[in-house]
Amino acid sequence: MKKIILLVALVYGFKSFSNQGQINSEITVRNSETGIKDYDYDISNDSYSLDLSYVTNPNLMDSGSISGFRGQMTWFKNPYSYVLLASKTSTTLKAATSLTGNYDETTETLDLIEAGIGLSRRSTLINTFWDNAHIYDESLFAVNLVTATSTIIEESIRGFGMTAGYGLFYRTSKSFHWALRADYHLNSLAYTKEDTQLDVDFIATWFTVGLGMGFYF
């Protein structure tokens, strides 16, 4: 169900850009005390940004099974923007893999570092449902190189994968935003057993939601 929700959000985001091209959102910033306008700006004039987020399992009853941080550098272009994406995630084996063995997969963990490049597109179609010029969204896709360590696997783990994401932003000023993010991670990983020299392949996949902030330069 989580994957379906994210897929719908991604399709929604990319479809919006096929219709509108370059984002064009004029935002007015007012003094918080007087309500008098300080200045206007257009987010289509952004150059690049740094976004930092804390992420966790969307199932808050099991939030401890997945936690981590993600960072994103975006260089804004029209219609696609370029993205550098990096994340560090700690997850239980049960939450991300189908690995089983003589251990408790609900407590044994997998720590992953993902680094990749991708494309993103911003949209103001959300304003159709939420009429606020300070709010807009983003869809992104990135391909990653992955390294991982585990509490039950002594060998180094490596692989590659992808991240598909959707974000909602509340822009408070020309240089800052708050963000809500949802990311789907799919990685193909492998390691070689030292005693037998056998290659072991497995898939790690998980879904996260996050709260973050962004800075524009």
Output the pLDDT for position 19: 46
pLDDT 10s digits, 116-134? 999 999 988 787 788 788 8
The total of structural domains in the chain comes to: 1
pLDDT at 215 over 70: yes
pLDDT of residue 197: 82
Q: In terms of residue numbers, what domain contains 170?
A: 2-216
* CA–CA gap between residue 140 and residue 83 (Å, rounded): 8
- Evaluate the omega torsion of the peptide bond into residue 58 and state whether it is cis, within 30 degrees of 0: no
Inform me whether the pLDDT recorded for 113 exceeds 50. Answer: yes
Query: Would you say residue 194 has pLDDT above 70?
Result: yes
Q: What is the pLDDT of residue 14?
A: 52
* pLDDT single digits (tens) 8-50: 555 555 554 444 445 667 777 777 667 677 778 888 889 999 9
CATH number at 118 reads: 2.40.160.20
Q: In whole angstroms, give the CA distance from residue 62 to residue 146.
A: 24
Residues whose CB falls within 8 Å of the CB of residue 205, separated by 6 or more in sequence, listed in order: 96, 97, 184, 185, 186, 187
